[in-house]
């Protein structure tokens, strides 16, 4: 069964191949016969040509080439009837073949000339229709038909056919030597004029005047006639518009004037009246919008509206009064912003300005510059107060400003808490410092622990002191508190260990020696008197011999220790005491200036920091640390001068991501007429 199916498929495939090969051979044979027919025509062997072409037609009856060659043969043999039939057949088979169509139209036109000479209207119509059927864009014949339709009063058909001819001959629009194209536009102009479509009529007439016509003045005369009709129509519409305006129908008057402007564009009288009416209407609309904007608080947008109203209606006192208020508000705003001129006139542009103040304020806030951050936020809020369309930004500004307020509140609590602690008012210390988050300052847990200890809450004091040591193992205040509580509870060994650690890092810690003696008494009861005598003798000798140098070195060590502990006031106080000692060397003076420069800088006493840095640079001009500190001091003062600029630029090389520094230098260079390479890099 499978073998039978396979043989059947194989047989069918072979048959299809044979059929396709046969069709290909027949097609080639027809082409060869057609070629031989052409050669016979060209060599004058007409009878032979007839035989070849007939055979080709028989083989390929749907192929146009043999018929077209037969038509050429019939022309040579003066057989016009057969020539026409053969050409018609070729065109019917290949209607898109331009050569065949051109040859057929040529024959038809020759016949048409004969029909016109014989005045055979039926043949004339038949031949014209046939020409236009095979060649719809034939301008010569099409124009004749359009002319006849126009003369017979059939304007719709004449117009449609003329438009179709123009569409078919679009490539000849710029052929201004074409008389037929000019005639088509001329006829269309007359048709539009009869329809009272003056704008369209004028357009067609203008186009007709561009071409070379048999009667050149005809287009000019048509244009003149259309112009008269246009002027009459415009005059009538102007009268109607004035009547409508007088009766209060402003919109109707404007519509009428627009119709007049369509008839004669840019007519001076029409434009003058139209401008007057539209300005008056727009001024009323603008005044209504301005009132609403003022009511909503959008004074900036209202000002533009009011300026327009006053320019159109100078006598409008309400608009003048509101405009003065808007101008005064904007002038006051510009003083706050420290900007010349006026703000952008579009709310979207002002939104960009507001976003800029918000972004800049955030950058200052991130850099710790709360003063300039608040200035930026206040400027943005000042704009929002006069532009209700930007109220969406208010929550963002309020959120950022609340951060500054919260930070200021924390600083105030810290300041009051530290002052109370220094005044030994520990209950007030707890009152203020307990409101701060535990991570507000690294010293906060130990300060709270001290206050709890002094107010009798030993458990809370121990908890905080131990927490302090977990985050800052070298905190002597926490060790002192734990040691003191241990001593009070009788654990002298633990207390002695804590006090010893403190003594090793800071021998001059307040009350330490007494506590150390108390905690060590149990261990040293026997030999303590002897050691005490020896110690006192040694101290007496040391005081006698080394007291001045010791005082100096001790103060320097204390100052360095205070600086490391961020105890800047104590550091400055210690150095001020020894700054004028007679036994100071140049190295001691440089060391004092180095420590003071850092302390003043961290305390924000920038003027004194600048003085100490200059002293260091006078000793060693290549002291990089001194130059860096001097740059930060100038930055803190926001001082820009020929003296400070090199130090600020040097600081920028080391800290290019400092937002405050970039802002200061950027503001300087944006105001400079000539920008250096450094300025270009920063900007």
Question: What would the mean pLDDT of 608-634 be, rounded to a whole number?
Answer: 86
Q: Reply yes or no on whether the pLDDT at 452 is more than 70.
A: yes
Crossing angle of helices 528-564/586-603, nearest 10°? Answer: 60
Looking at residue 127, its pLDDT comes to: 83
First to last CA, the chain: 91
How much of the chain exceeds pLDDT 70, in percent?
A: 86
Question: Quick one: tokens of 298?
Answer: 């959008």
Q: Reply yes or no on whether the pLDDT at 501 is more than 50.
A: yes
User: Which H or E run contains 551?
Assistant: helix 528-564
How much of the chain exceeds pLDDT 90, in percent?
A: 2
Looking at residue 317, its pLDDT comes to: 79
CA 606, CA 281: separation in Å to the nearest integer? 64
Looking at residue 63, its pLDDT comes to: 92
Question: Quick one: tokens of 513?
Answer: 């020696």
Question: Quick one: tokens of 361?
Answer: 């304020």
**Which string of DSSP letters, residue by residue, matches 483-513?**
HHHHHHTT-HHHHHHHHHHHHHH-TT-TTHH
Weakest mean pLDDT among 32-46, 548-562, 612-626: 548-562
**For 553, how many CA atoms within 13 A lie in the half-sphere containing its CB?**
5
**For 224, how many CA atoms within 13 A lie in the half-sphere containing its CB?**
5
Query: Could you give the 3-state DSSP secondary structure of residue 33?
Result: helix
Q: How far is CA 415 from CA 288, 370, 418, 420, in A?
A: 56, 17, 5, 9
252-287 tens-digit pLDDT: 777 877 777 777 777 777 777 677 666 666 666 777
On average, the pLDDT of the chain sits at 79
Cβ atoms 548, 518 nearer than 8 A = no
Q: Reply yes or no on whether the pLDDT at 14 is more than 70.
A: no
Label residue 18 by pLDDT band (50, 70, 90).
Answer: very low
All residues at 6 or more sequence positions from 678 whose CB lies less than 8 Å from its CB, including other chains: 649, 652
Nearest to 290 by CA among 257, 324, 265, 332: 324
Question: Quick one: tokens of 433?
Answer: 């410092």
Nearest to 38 by CA among 76, 66, 78, 74: 66
CA 162, CA 104: separation in Å to the nearest integer? 23
User: If you ran DSSP here, which 8-state letter would residue 161 be given?
Assistant: H
The total of other beta-carbon atoms located within 10 Å of residue 191's CB is 21
CA 278, CA 271: separation in Å to the nearest integer? 10
Question: Quick one: tokens of 542?
Answer: 């040391």
Weakest mean pLDDT among 35-39, 54-58, 96-100, 597-601: 597-601
Q: Which residue has the higher pLDDT, 548 or 558?
A: 558
| Domain chopping of the chain, boundaries | 155-263
Label residue 25 by pLDDT band (50, 70, 90).
Answer: very low
All residues at 6 or more sequence positions from 672 whose CB lies less than 8 Å from its CB, including other chains: 679
Q: What is the dihedral of CA 405, 410, 415, 420, to 10 degrees?
A: 130
Q: What is the dihedral of CA 400, 406, 411, 417, to 10 degrees?
A: -170
Label residue 1 by pLDDT band (50, 70, 90).
Answer: very low
Question: Quick one: tokens of 381?
Answer: 């809020």
Looking at residue 683, its pLDDT comes to: 56
CA 441, CA 63: separation in Å to the nearest integer? 102
Question: What would the mean pLDDT of 160-172 be, rounded to a whole number?
Answer: 85
Q: Reply yes or no on whether the pLDDT at 126 is more than 80.
A: yes
Q: How far is CA 485 from CA 425, 459, 468, 471, 497, in A?
A: 20, 10, 16, 20, 13
Query: Could you give the 3-state DSSP secondary structure of residue 351?
Result: helix
Q: Is the dihedral of CA 175, 176, 179, 185 positive or negative?
A: positive
All residues at 6 or more sequence positions from 87 whose CB lies less than 8 Å from its CB, including other chains: 67, 68, 71, 100, 103, 104, 107
Looking at residue 277, its pLDDT comes to: 63
306-332 tens-digit pLDDT: 776 777 677 777 777 887 777 777 677
Cβ atoms 269, 279 nearer than 8 A = no
Q: Which residue has the higher pLDDT, 80 or 216?
A: 80
Question: Quick one: tokens of 261?
Answer: 């402007």
Cβ atoms 213, 179 nearer than 8 A = yes
Q: Reply yes or no on whether the pLDDT at 117 is more than 80.
A: yes
Query: Would the pTM of this model clear 0.75, i.e. be above it?
Result: no
Weakest mean pLDDT among 47-56, 74-83, 373-382: 373-382
508-541 tens-digit pLDDT: 888 888 877 887 765 555 455 666 777 787 776 6
CA 375, CA 352: separation in Å to the nearest integer? 17
Question: What would the mean pLDDT of 432-446 be, rounded to a whole number?
Answer: 82
**Which string of DSSP letters, residue by residue, matches 604-670?**
T-HHHHHHHHHHHHHH-TT-HHHHHHHHHHHHHHT--STTHHHHHHHHHHH-TT-HHHHHHHHHHHH
Give the highest mean pLDDT range of 45-49, 198-202, 295-299: 45-49
Looking at residue 16, its pLDDT comes to: 46
Cβ atoms 241, 271 nearer than 8 A = no
Looking at residue 225, its pLDDT comes to: 82
655-682 tens-digit pLDDT: 888 888 778 878 777 776 666 666 666 6
Looking at residue 547, its pLDDT comes to: 67
Please classify residue 295 by burial: count the beta carbons closer than 10 Å to its beta carbon, then call 0-12 exposed, 13-18 middle and 19+ buried. exposed
Question: Quick one: tokens of 79?
Answer: 């057989």
């Amino acid at each position: 069964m499978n073998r039978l199916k396979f043989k059947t498929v194989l047989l069918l495939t072979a048959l299809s191949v044979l059929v396709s090969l046969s069709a290909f051979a027949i097609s080639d044979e027809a082409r060869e016969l057609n070629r031989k027919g052409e050669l016979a025509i060209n060599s004058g062997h007409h009878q032979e040509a007839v035989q070849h072409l007939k055979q080709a037609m028989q083989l390929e009856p749907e192929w146009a080439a043999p018929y077209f060659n037969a038509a050429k043969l019939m022309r040579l043999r003066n057989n016009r009837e057969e020539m026409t039939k053969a050409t018609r057949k070729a065109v019917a088979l290949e209607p898109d073949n331009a050569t065949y169509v051109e040859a057929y139209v040529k024959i038809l036109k020759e016949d048409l000339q004969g029909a016109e000479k014989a005045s055979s209207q039926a043949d004339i119509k038949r031949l014209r229709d046939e020409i236009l059927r095979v060649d719809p864009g034939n301008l010569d014949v099409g124009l004749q038909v359009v002319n006849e339709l126009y003369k017979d009063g059939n304007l719709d058909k004449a117009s449609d056919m003329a438009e179709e001819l123009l569409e078919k001959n679009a490539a000849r629009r710029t052929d201004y030597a074409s008389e037929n194209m000019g005639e088509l536009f001329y006829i269309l102009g007359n048709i539009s004029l009869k329809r009272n479509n003056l704008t369209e009529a004028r357009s067609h007439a203008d186009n007709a005047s561009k071409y070379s016509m048999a009667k050149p003045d005809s287009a000019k005369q048509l244009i003149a006639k259309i112009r008269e009709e246009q002027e009459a129509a415009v005059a009538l519409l102007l009268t109607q518009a004035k009547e409508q305006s007088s009766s209060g129908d402003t919109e109707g008057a404007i519509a009428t004037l627009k119709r007049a402007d369509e008839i004669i564009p840019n007519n001076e009288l029409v434009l003058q009246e139209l401008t007057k009416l539209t300005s008056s209407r727009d001024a009323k609309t603008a005044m209504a919008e301005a009132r609403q904007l003022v009511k909503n608080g959008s004074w900036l947008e209202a000002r533009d509206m009011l300026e327009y109203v006053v320019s159109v209606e100078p006598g409008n006192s309400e608009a003048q009064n509101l405009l003065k208020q808007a101008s005064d508000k904007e002038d006051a705003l510009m003083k706050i912003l420290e900007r010349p001129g006026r703000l952008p006139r579009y709310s979207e542009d002002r939104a960009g300005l507001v976003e800029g103040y918000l972004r800049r304020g955030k950058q200052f806030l991130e850099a710790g510059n709360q003063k300039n951050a608040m200035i930026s936020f206040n400027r943005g809020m000042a704009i929002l107060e006069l532009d209700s369309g930007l109220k969406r930004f208010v929550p963002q500004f309020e959120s950022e400003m609340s951060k500054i307020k919260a930070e200021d509140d924390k600083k105030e609590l810290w300041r009051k808490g530290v002052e109370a602690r220094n005044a030994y008012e520990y209950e007030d210390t707890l009152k203020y410092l307990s409101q701060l988050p535990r991570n507000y300052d690294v010293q906060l847990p130990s300060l709270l622990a001290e206050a709890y200890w002094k107010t009798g809450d030993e458990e809370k004091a121990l908890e905080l002191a131990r927490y302090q040591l977990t985050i800052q193992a070298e905190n002597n205040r926490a060790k002192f508190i734990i040691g003191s509580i241990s001593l009070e509870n009788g654990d002298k060994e633990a207390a002695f260990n804590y006090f010893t650690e403190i003594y090793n890092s800071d021998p001059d810690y307040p009350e330490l020696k007494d506590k150390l003696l108390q905690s060590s008494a149990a261990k040293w009861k026997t030999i303590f008197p002897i050691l005490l005598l020896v110690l006192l003798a040694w101290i007496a000798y040391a005081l006698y011999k080394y007291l001045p140098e010791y005082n100096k070195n001790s103060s320097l060590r204390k100052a360095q220790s205070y600086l490391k502990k961020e105890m800047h006031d104590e550091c400055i106080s210690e150095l001020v005491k020894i700054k004028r000692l007679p036994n100071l060397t140049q190295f001691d003076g440089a060391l004092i200036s180095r420590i003071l420069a850092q302390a003043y800088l961290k305390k924000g006493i920038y003027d004194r920091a600048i003085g100490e840095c200059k002293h260091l640079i006078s000793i060693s001009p290549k002291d990089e640390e001194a130059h860096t500190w001097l740059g930060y001091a100038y930055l803190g003062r926001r001082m820009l001068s020929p003296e400070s600029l090199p130090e600020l630029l040097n600081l920028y090389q080391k800290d290019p991501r400092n937002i405050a520094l970039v802002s200061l230098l950027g503001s300087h260079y944006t105001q400079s007429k000539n920008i250096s390479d450094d300025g270009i890099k920063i900007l």
